[in-house]
Each structure stands twice: as structure tokens, then as C-alpha cells.
């Protein structure tokens, strides 16, 4: 379906690109957050903003929304922006506050303007301007030196999510692939623990061979995708048919803020569910923004203990004979002795044995057992168990907060046990316990690349791989695609990411590793502003932003629509900023492979080529000339039900697990638990049990008496936008602390406090609020680290990763510590 309105207005504007067109008031329905031309500052009150060009683009940061921008420019300079205001309001990917401040980013005085080389120590942030020629020469010769000396498996492309488009990150990956490749990363910082563990429960397409037969991999080489429509249902399905929504650590009003993102429909979900006599339950350690205004929906829980709550609910259901035994026998392995695999029969290793106290730890998981762990009273647990059991179509869903803990591998599966136990999945209005699906319908691809190296490290392991990569193996470090690493990482390529320090973990420790130039010998960073990670660059490159070049990207997180946007530049890149494609082509030239690299195409010709490939495969998309003229194409998506095909016919549509069934008990995991080298405090469980995890429940002590955790904040996308003062004023960086904990420490609202963990110390403003459970404090993640690394290292910027400890989780080797910390707070 083409948006006629869009087509018309866009054509009119583009044709008259030199004519001045009055567009005051064109904000229309797009003015969700009141961004009229006037309020954006393009023209004074009452004046008419006059622009001569509209360029479509997208918000390419990793909130994932990919909301749509309409830039209004004059004389090659952006005057103001609108979002999508065309066609059906349900399909408008309207930018949130952050996206609407993108003009401030584009025109920020803090933009990196020139290539630079480091002159101080790594991390000091001292740089000197150099020419592009010198930068490209240095990068090429360092690449050559490292490859010749150590081999391609000493090169690592760091996790970096700052910019999603068809031509952003890919040129670098293409170049490095053509030079012999680089070490891959498995999983990601978003869903690390669940990506690693869930294939053992619900299966992973990566475990299928070309004929669709299951091949048992000790560990999946590519992960289960939490981003697809196979494993979960969409919120639009909850709206269509659910009578109870139970959310574990999920706040779409903060993490899915764009129009046509989940938040857009959440009010409708709530209304629909309530009209069927049900309600929404939000299980979170804090009263988040999604439940805010609906405090009756909030069920407070101690962070990291959801598996204990779910175990107690399971106990209730088993004790009251409410589990769906027929479903469990037919579709699952390992609920009770009847379906245990041969290797584990007769050993009391089933899930039921664990819950009823006849197996594993021989402790009965009663609500009374769970109450002190979770801080949820036993009666409340019983009432919730009864409420879920009574629902016709319970929609049980988890955000990714609960799995971003040191026991995340167990927590994410334990939550899935709820729909499994009562057989409420694959049916209308129900969900599998995983996050709501945003059915991916990617209309265009990116610049292609094919890395000849298959060796892969779990993404959070890169610091260990810099420090002692040559000691890392499949069984002691989760290395995939090879038995071991040959090399330490010697060259880091970091494009559009702040994960060297700010977004990674344990900044004080990571600083030590990166500052040692005998370890990683060369660090290349491309960014648009001087981030904390950029301070570790040997060469620092100023990137042109997406709205400063022809930009193309397909849909983001939306369950309602898919789209492709093509447009720009809205204004010219400032000073010496260049597109990554052009720079990579120049580096390729130094190796004599420029023609192979470009295939004779310019950056813009690649976009046309990729668009036309997508359009041909899709069959419904406009032609290149049409999309160039209209800027955007979109169409609606239907609700989806996770695991529907499997539920309908499990023989014809088996899951991609070894048994083809839901594996509550995983033989593969049991074998891994027996063969991997684990530290004493590390466990890998074949069934989903409650384990406290490192710096989890029970680990607080006199020195660090509080649990400490984090969440994704509405004023930033991770660290992106973190330097824009207007956004910081809207939602400040504050420590959430319960009045009981604050009072004990003489802390009042607005006080500056010191938060200390075993890893470091920050300063932050206190937000004293009953919206957080007592005994736990929380810090919005992504604030900019600001500390004197040669001095006291106290972080005045209050970056949560000053407090996290670098200890990868037992199985995923993932970033569980991101949300699991212990700490003490005092008035500063």
C-alpha cells in the first residue's frame, strides 16, 4: 500500500526543491510531543518557517525504533524536523523526545570534526588533528602489521550499536572480510543470557541442517533469535485476544517509545484486556513508566529473583493439580519422570522433583520459601498463581531486564515455565514467556560481506580475549566455531559504539587492560562526539551522520508496520566528516583492492542497488524513482502467535531442539555442565532453577548492604544523546532509593550521594521514592563516565558501569553483571 498523501506532498516538495514552500503547521498528527516548527526553534513564535527541501531519514540509534524523520532544510542547513505524519496514525513511526533532539546532535559544538591521532596515554583523551591521508595510511599500515605478525584472528570488531543503516557499519566489515577476516562475536549485550540458553528450551533454527534435520551442536554457533516472530507473540495479539497480561521486567513506555512501537498500542492492550475482565500485572523492582499511573498493576520484586517467584507459582499449580499434564507429556521433555530422557531417568532430576523438594536441592519451593527471597508475600504469590490459572488466554511476557543478571540463563527459562506448565502457548491471546515479538520484515539489506573466519567469542568476553585470548577455549570461555583462540586481540575496530568502556562493564578494570599498549596494540574508533570509549582510540575518525548522507534503512521494532526509508542528505557533513563507505574504500585502495571493495559503485549507487534487490524480492515495493521521490514506503503487519505451528501439529512442526519438543530438561546442557571448566561458584543447570548468581540474592554484606541494579533510561539511548542537556533536564540521572533506605542514611531528595560497589564509586543525585523496593537501589544505565583515571577515579557522571564487576556468566559468558551489583550509599 502506497501512502498517497506522502507521495503527493513529497513529490511537490522535491520538485520544487529550490522554490520556497511554506510548511508552517505541517506537523499535523506528528506533533505528538509538540514539535511544531516554532517549538523546534526553527522560527520565532508566529513566524512562518520557510524551507526549500524535505529529506526523509530515520533515527538510527539503537533504541531499535528506527522512527521516521522529515528534515526541513534551507540552503543546505536543517531548520527543523517533523516525524512521520502520513496516512494511518497506527502506522506512523513518530520520533520520541530523543529523536526529536537529533538536530541538536547534528549541529552540536561537540561534534568531532577532523581525524585525530592520540598524543597522550590511552584513555587520557589527548589528541592531535591529522589529515585524512595520514589517518588512512596509519590504519592501513597497522592492519597490515597486525595481520602479518599475528594473523587475522588478532582483529576484533567491537560490539557497537550506535548506528543502524544499510551502509554504516557494513563497509568496515566488508573491508576486513576482504583482508582475511576478523574474530566474530556471538550473542549481544541486549539479550546475551537468553540468546545462549533459550535454544536449549525452544530450539534454534541454527541447529537445523539444510534439510531441516536437527544437528546437535554442543553450543549453537549462531544464536536463537529473540527478535523474531517464531518464539513469541506480538502485543497486538494480546490486544486481540488476551484476558491477562503478566509482564516480568518490561517497560515499553521507556524502551519502545516511538510511535508504532509497542508503547503506542500498550494503552489499547490494557483497555482490551480489561474489557475481557482481566488486567495487566507488572512485576518489576520499580514502578516503571509503563505501570506508572496504574500503581495497582505493580507487583514489586527483588531484582534477580524472578525464578524463585516462578518456582513458587509452579508449586501452587502442582499442589492444586492445575498443571496441564497432557500438554506437558505431549509437547515437553522433563517436566516429570514420565518424559525424562533415558540418561536422566530415575535420578530425581525432573522439574517437578525440583519444585516439590524431591530433587536437585531437596527444598520444596513453596510460596513461603519464595517470600523472603523475592520480597513478594506468600499470599500474593498464591493469588497471582490463581489469577493466571483462571485466565483463558494469559499473555506472559518478559522484557530483557530480568535476563541481564548474573543468573539470567535460569531466570529467562523459569519465566517461560509459567505458560508451559499450564499449556497456554501457541494459542490465541497467549505468549511463550519471551518478549513480545516484533515480526521482522526487513525490506532491504546492507552492503554485503562474508567473514572467512568462523571463530567466535561470546560478545562480553572481548576484554578477556585482549588480556589472555590465547588461553581461551570452548570449555573454559565459551569459544564457538573452534576449540580455542590462537591469539590475543591486538587490533580493535570500534565503529559507532561506546562499549569499550561506558557500555561494557567494570570501567576501572577495563581501563587497565586497554591502557596497556602491549596488550591491544591498536584501537580505531569512529564516532561523532568525544565519548569515553573514544578516549582510548589510537586513531579517532569523525563520521558523517546518517542525515548528512543518503540514508536507507528498513523497519525497526514495530509489530504494526514495516517500512523502508530512503533520503538525504538533509545537510552537508560539517568540516572534515566523511562517510564510512568512502573512508573504507580509501583504505581498500592502500591494499590494492578498491575495485573489489566498491564493485564499481559509489555509496549512493550501493543504496540504489540494495533497494532494487529488496524491491525485487518483495514484489510490492515502489520503484527506485518512486521511493526517491516519496522517501518512505510502509505497510501494516498482522498480529502473530509464538510457536503456533508447533502447538497445532508438533509432529509436522517440531521445534529445533534435539527432541523436537520443549526441553524443560536439556540433556545437552547436562552434558555441558559436566564437561565445561567452571569455577566453584558457577553452575549450569539442565532445568530452570533459582540460582542467586554472582552479586545476587544473599550476597549483600556489611560493607555493601544494598542490592544495586540498572535500567534503560528515557533521556538517552544507552549513552547516545547523553551529552544533550535538554534531554538530561527532562529526565535527570538519579539514583532510585526507597525512603526507608534513604532515611537510615540521612539522605534526602536531591542530595548528592556516593555509591560504592566492589568495582568503583560514583556520585549521583538521590531520587527518594517508594517506587522502588526497599533494600535495592537503581541507576539509569548509559550516563557518561566522568572520572580522573589518574586520580581518585570517582565517577561524577554516574555511569553504572563504574560499579559493575567484570565476571561473565557461567554459560553465556555474558554481561549479567550489567544489572547485578551490590553497593553502599552515603551522603557525599
Ligand X SMILES: Nc1nc2c(c(=O)[nH]1)N[C@H]1C(S)=C(S)[C@@H](COP(=O)(O)OP(=O)(O)OC[C@H]3O[C@@H](n4cnc5c(=O)[nH]c(N)nc54)[C@H](O)[C@@H]3O)O[C@H]1N2
CA distance 573 to 583: 14
Are 520 and 490 a contacting pair, CB within 8 Å? yes
CA distance 216 to 232: 23
Please tell me whether residue 248 binds ligand X under the rule CB under 6 A. Answer: yes
| Least distance between Mo ion and beta carbon 432 (Å) | 21
Cis amide linkage into residue 622, ω under 30° from 0:
no
* One character per residue 494-513, x = contact with ligand X (rule: CB under 6 A): -xxxxx---x----------
| Least distance between ligand X and beta carbon 495 (Å) | 6
Q: Binder to ligand X among 64, 220, 367, 556 (CB under 6 A)?
A: 64
Please tell me whether residue 285 binds ligand X under the rule CB under 6 A. Answer: yes
Non-local CB neighbours of 235 within 8 Å, separated by 6+ positions: 252, 262, 265, 266, 269, 436, 559
66 binds, among Mo ion, ligand SF4, ligand X, none (CB under 5 to 8 A by kind): ligand SF4
Q: Binder to ligand X among 400, 561, 606, 694 (CB under 6 A)?
A: 400
Instruction: Give the long-range contacts of residues 741-746, CB within 8 A, separation 24 or more.
Output: 741/706, 741/774, 741/775, 741/777, 741/825, 742/766, 742/768, 745/825, 745/826, 745/827, 746/827
CA distance 73 to 85: 18
CA angle 196, 200, 203 (to 5 degrees): 100
258 binds, among Mo ion, ligand X, ligand SF4, none (CB under 5 to 8 A by kind): ligand SF4
| Least distance between ligand X and beta carbon 23 (Å) | 27
| Least distance between ligand SF4 and beta carbon 110 (Å) | 19
Nearer to ligand SF4, 67 or 269 (CB): 67
Bridge partners for 542 per DSSP = 527
250 binds, among ligand X, ligand SF4, Mo ion, none (CB under 5 to 8 A by kind): ligand X
| Least distance between ligand SF4 and beta carbon 289 (Å) | 13
CA distances to 22, 40, 106, 513, 689 from 43, rounded to whole Å, are 12, 8, 18, 50, 59
- CA-based radius of gyration for the chain: 26
| Least distance between Mo ion and beta carbon 472 (Å) | 24
Binding segment (CB under 6 A) for ligand X, from list 330-338, 418-426, 472-480, 706-714 = 706-714
Give the three cell numbers for residue 377: 508475600
767 binds, among ligand SF4, ligand X, Mo ion, none (CB under 5 to 8 A by kind): none
Please tell me whether residue 61 binds ligand SF4 under the rule CB under 6 A. Answer: yes
Please tell me whether residue 95 binds ligand SF4 under the rule CB under 6 A. Answer: yes
* One character per residue 807-826, x = contact with ligand X (rule: CB under 6 A): -----------xx-------
- Burial level of 739, CB count in 10 A (0-12/13-18/19+)? middle
Nearer to ligand X, 161 or 562 (CB): 161
Are 158 and 150 a contacting pair, CB within 8 Å? no
Please tell me whether residue 257 binds ligand SF4 under the rule CB under 6 A. Answer: yes
Give the three cell numbers for residue 693: 548468581
Please tell me whether residue 284 binds ligand X under the rule CB under 6 A. Answer: yes
Are 458 and 185 a contacting pair, CB within 8 Å? yes
Nearer to ligand X, 657 or 781 (CB): 781
Binding segment (CB under 6 A) for ligand SF4, from list 94-102, 309-317, 659-667, 690-698 = 94-102
Phi and psi at residue 591, to the nearest 5°: -100, 5
CA distances to 23, 51, 73, 85, 208 from 9, rounded to whole Å, are 11, 14, 15, 11, 48
| Least distance between ligand SF4 and beta carbon 711 (Å) | 16
Please tell me whether residue 98 binds ligand SF4 under the rule CB under 6 A. Answer: yes
Binding segment (CB under 6 A) for ligand SF4, from list 64-72, 189-197, 515-523, 547-555 = 64-72
Are 670 and 687 a contacting pair, CB within 8 Å? no
Non-local CB neighbours of 759 within 8 Å, separated by 6+ positions: 506, 508, 509, 802, 803, 804, 805, 806, 821
Nearer to ligand X, 62 or 508 (CB): 62
| Least distance between ligand SF4 and beta carbon 564 (Å) | 15
499 binds, among ligand X, Mo ion, ligand SF4, none (CB under 5 to 8 A by kind): ligand X
CA distances to 293, 389, 427, 430, 463 from 274, rounded to whole Å, are 16, 17, 19, 15, 48
| Least distance between ligand SF4 and beta carbon 614 (Å) | 21
Binding segment (CB under 6 A) for ligand X, from list 50-58, 219-227, 243-251, 265-273 = 243-251
Give the three cell numbers for residue 187: 550473542
Please tell me whether residue 801 binds ligand X under the rule CB under 6 A. Answer: yes
CA distance 364 to 358: 8
CA distance 314 to 384: 11
* One character per residue 4-43, x = contact with ligand SF4 (rule: CB under 6 A): ----------------------------------------
Please tell me whether residue 399 binds ligand X under the rule CB under 6 A. Answer: yes
Q: Where are the beta strands (DSSP E) in 169-279?
A: 184-186, 244-248
Please tell me whether residue 537 binds ligand SF4 under the rule CB under 6 A. Answer: no
Nearer to ligand SF4, 697 or 711 (CB): 711
| Least distance between ligand X and beta carbon 40 (Å) | 20
Binding segment (CB under 6 A) for ligand X, from list 39-47, 174-182, 581-589, 703-711 = 703-711
Helix (H) or strand (E) holding 22, with range, is strand 21-22
Q: Binder to ligand SF4 among 59, 230, 507, 798 (CB under 6 A)?
A: 59
Interaction residues for ligand X, span 153-172 (CB under 6 A): 160-163
Nearer to ligand X, 332 or 388 (CB): 388
Phi and psi at residue 500, to the nearest 5°: -70, -40
CA distance 537 to 127: 9
Q: Binder to ligand SF4 among 35, 91, 96, 154 (CB under 6 A)?
A: 96
Interaction residues for ligand SF4, span 717-756 (CB under 6 A): 717
Q: In what order do the strands lie in the sheet with 155-157?
A: 127-129, 116-118, 539-542, 522-527, 491-495, 155-157
Q: Which residues bind Mo ion (CB under 5 A)?
A: 190
562 binds, among ligand X, ligand SF4, Mo ion, none (CB under 5 to 8 A by kind): none
CA distance 523 to 517: 10
Q: Binder to ligand SF4 among 26, 32, 35, 67 (CB under 6 A)?
A: 67
Give the number of residues in contact with ligand SF4, rule: CB under 6 A.
13
Nearer to ligand SF4, 65 or 817 (CB): 65
What is the sign, positive or negative, of the torsion defined by CA atoms of 519, 522, 527, 531?
positive
Grouping H, G, I as helix, E, B as strand and the rest as coil, residue 475 is helix
Give the three cell numbers for residue 222: 549462531
Please tell me whether residue 546 binds ligand X under the rule CB under 6 A. Answer: yes
Q: Binder to ligand X among 26, 193, 257, 629 (CB under 6 A)?
A: 257
Binding segment (CB under 6 A) for ligand X, from list 244-252, 510-518, 639-647, 700-708 = 244-252
Q: Binder to ligand X among 9, 152, 288, 659 (CB under 6 A)?
A: 288
Residues in contact with ligand SF4 by CB under 6 A are: 59, 61, 63, 65-67, 95-96, 98-99, 257-258, 717
Residues in contact with ligand X by CB under 6 A are: 61-64, 160-163, 189-190, 248-251, 254-255, 257, 283-286, 288, 301, 303-304, 306, 399-402, 404-405, 495-499, 503, 526-529, 531, 543, 545-546, 709-714, 716-720, 781-782, 800-801, 804, 818-819
Amino acid at each position: 500500500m502506497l501512502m498517497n498523501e506522502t507521495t503527493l506532498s513529497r513529490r511537490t516538495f522535491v520538485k520544487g526543491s529550490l522554490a520556497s514552500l511554506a510548511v508552517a503547521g505541517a506537523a499535523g498528527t506528528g506533533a505528538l510531543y509538540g514539535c511544531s516548527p516554532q517549538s523546534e526553534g526553527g522560527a520565532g513564535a508566529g513566524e512562518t518557517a520557510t524551507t526549500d527541501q524535505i529529506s526523509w531519514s530515520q533515527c538510527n540509534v539503537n533504541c531499535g525504533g528506527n522512527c521516521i524523520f522529515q528534515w526541513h532544510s534551507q540552503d543546505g542547513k536543517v531548520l527543523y524536523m517533523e516525524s512521520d505524519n502520513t496516512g494511518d496514525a497506527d502506522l506512523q513511526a513518530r520520533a520520541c523526545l530523543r529523536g526529536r533532539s537529533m538536530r541538536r546532535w547534528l549541529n552540536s559544538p561537540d561534534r568531532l570534526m577532523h581525524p585525530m591521532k592520540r598524543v597522550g596515554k590511552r584513555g587520557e583523551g589527548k589528541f592531535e588533528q591529522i589529515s585524512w591521508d595520514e589517518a588512512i595510511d596509519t590504519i592501513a599500515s597497522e592492519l597490515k602489521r597486525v595481520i602479518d605478525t599475528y594473523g587475522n584472528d588478532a582483529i576484533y570488531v567491537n560490539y557497537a550499536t550506535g548506528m543502524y543503516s544499510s551502509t554504516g557499519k557494513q563497509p568496515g566489515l566488508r573491508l576486513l572480510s576482504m583482508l582475511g577476516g576478523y574474530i566474530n562475536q556471538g550473542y549481544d549485550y541486549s539479550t546475551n543470557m537468553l540468546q545462549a540458553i533459550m535454544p536449549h528450551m525452544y530450539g534454534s533454527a541454527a541447529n537445523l541442517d539444510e534439510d531441516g534435520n536437527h544437528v546437535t551442536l554442543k553450543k549453537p554457533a549462531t544464536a536463537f533469535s529473540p527478535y523474531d516472530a517464531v518464539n513469541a507473540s506480538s502485543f497486538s495479539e494480546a490486544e486481540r485476544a488476551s484476558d491477562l497480561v503478566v509482564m516480568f521486567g518490561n517497560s515499553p513506555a521507556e524502551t519502545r517509545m516511538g510511535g508504532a512501537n509497542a508503547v503506542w498500542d500498550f494503552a489499547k492492550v490494557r483497555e482490551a484486556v480489561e474489557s475481557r475482565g482481566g488486567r495487566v500485572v507488572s512485576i518489576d523492582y520499580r514502578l516503571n513508566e509503563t505501570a506508572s499511573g496504574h500503581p495497582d498493576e505493580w507487583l514489586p520484586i527483588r531484582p534477580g529473583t524472578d525464578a524463585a517467584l516462578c518456582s513458587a507459582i509452579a508449586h501452587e499449580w502442582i499442589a492444586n493439580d492445575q498443571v496441564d499434564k497432557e500438554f506437558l507429556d505431549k509437547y515437553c521433555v522433563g517436566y516429570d519422570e514420565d518424559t525424562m530422557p533415558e540418561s536422566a531417568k530415575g535420578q530425581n532430576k525432573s522439574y517437578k522433583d525440583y519444585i516439590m523438594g524431591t530433587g536437585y536441592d531437596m527444598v520444596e519451593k513453596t510460596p513461603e520459601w519464595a517470600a523472603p527471597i523475592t520480597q513478594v508475600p506468600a499470599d500474593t504469590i498464591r493469588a497471582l498463581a490463581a489469577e493466571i490459572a483462571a485466565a483463558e488466554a494469559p499473555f506472559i511476557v518478559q522484557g530483557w531486564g530480568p535476563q541481564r543478571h548474573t543468573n539470567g540463563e535460569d531466570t529467562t527459562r523459569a519465566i517461560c515455565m509459567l505458560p508451559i506448565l499450564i499449556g497456554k502457548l501457541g494459542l490465541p491471546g497467549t505468549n511463550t514467556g519471551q518478549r513480545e515479538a516484533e515480526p521482522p520484515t526487513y525490506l532491504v539489506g546492507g552492503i554485503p560481506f562474508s567473514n572467512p573466519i568462523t571463530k567466535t567469542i561470546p560478545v562480553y568476553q572481548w576484554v578477556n580475549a585482549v588480556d589472555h585470548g590465547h588461553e581461551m577455549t570452548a570449555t573454559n570461555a565459551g569459544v564457538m566455531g573452534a576449540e580455542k583462540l590462537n591469539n590475543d586481540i591486538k587490533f580493535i575496530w570500534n565503529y559507532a559504539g561506546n562499549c569499550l568502556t561506558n557500555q561494557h562493564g567494570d570501567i576501572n578494570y577495563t581501563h587497565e587492560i586497554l591502557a596497556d599498549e602491549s596488550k591491544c596494540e591498536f584501537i580505531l574508533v569512529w564516532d561523532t562526539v568525544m565519548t569515553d570509549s573514544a578516549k582510548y582510540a589510537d586513531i579517532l575518525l569523525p563520521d558523517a551522520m546518517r542525515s548528512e548522507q543518503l540514508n536507507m534503512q528498513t523497519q525497526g521494532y514495530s509489530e504494526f508496520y514495516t517500512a523502508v526509508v530512503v533520503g538525504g542528505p538533509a545537510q552537508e557533513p560539517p568540516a572534515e566528516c566523511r562517510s564510512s563507505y568512502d573512508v573504507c574504500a580509501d583504505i581498500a585502495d592502500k591494499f590494492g583492492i578498491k575495485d573489489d571493495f566498491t564493485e564499481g559503485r559509489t555509496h549512493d549507487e550501493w543504496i540504489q542497488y540494495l533497494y532494487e534487490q529488496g524491491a525485487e524480492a518483495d514484489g510490492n515495493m515502489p520503484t527506485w524513482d518512486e521511493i526517491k521521490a516519496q522517501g518512505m514506503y510502509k505497510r501494516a503487519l498482522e498480529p502473530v502467535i509464538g510457536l503456533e505451528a508447533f502447538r497445532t501439529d508438533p509432529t509436522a512442526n517440531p521445534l529445533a531442539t534435539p527432541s523436537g519438543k520443549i526441553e524443560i530438561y536439556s540433556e545437552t546442557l547436562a552434558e555441558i555442565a559436566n564437561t565445561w571448566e567452571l569455577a566453584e561458584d558457577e553452575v549450569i543447570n539442565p532445568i530452570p532453577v533459582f540460582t542467586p548468581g554472582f552479586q545476587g540474592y544473599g550476597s549483600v554484606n556489611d560493607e555493601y548492604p544494598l542490592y544495586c541494579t540498572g535500567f534503560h533510561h528515557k533521556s538517552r539511548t544507552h549513552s547516545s544523546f547523553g551529552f544533550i542537556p535538554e534531554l538530561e533536564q527532562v529526565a535527570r540521572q538519579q539514583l532510585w532509593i526507597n525512603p526507608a533506605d534513604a532515611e537510615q542514611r540521612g539522605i534526602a531528595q536531591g542530595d548528592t550521594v556516593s555509591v560504592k560497589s566492589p568495582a568503583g564509586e560514583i556520585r549521583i543525585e538521590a531520587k527518594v521514592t517508594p517506587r522502588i523496593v526497599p533494600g535495592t537501589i537503581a541507576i539509569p544505565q548509559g550516563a557518561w563516565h566522568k572520572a580522573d583515571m589518574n586520580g581518585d577515579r570517582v565517577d561524577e557522571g554516574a555511569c553504572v558501569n563504574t560499579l559493575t564487576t567484570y565476571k561473565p556468566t557461567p554459560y553465556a559468558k555474558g554481561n549479567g553483571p550489567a544489572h547485578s551489583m551490590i553497593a553502599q550509599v552515603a551522603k557525599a
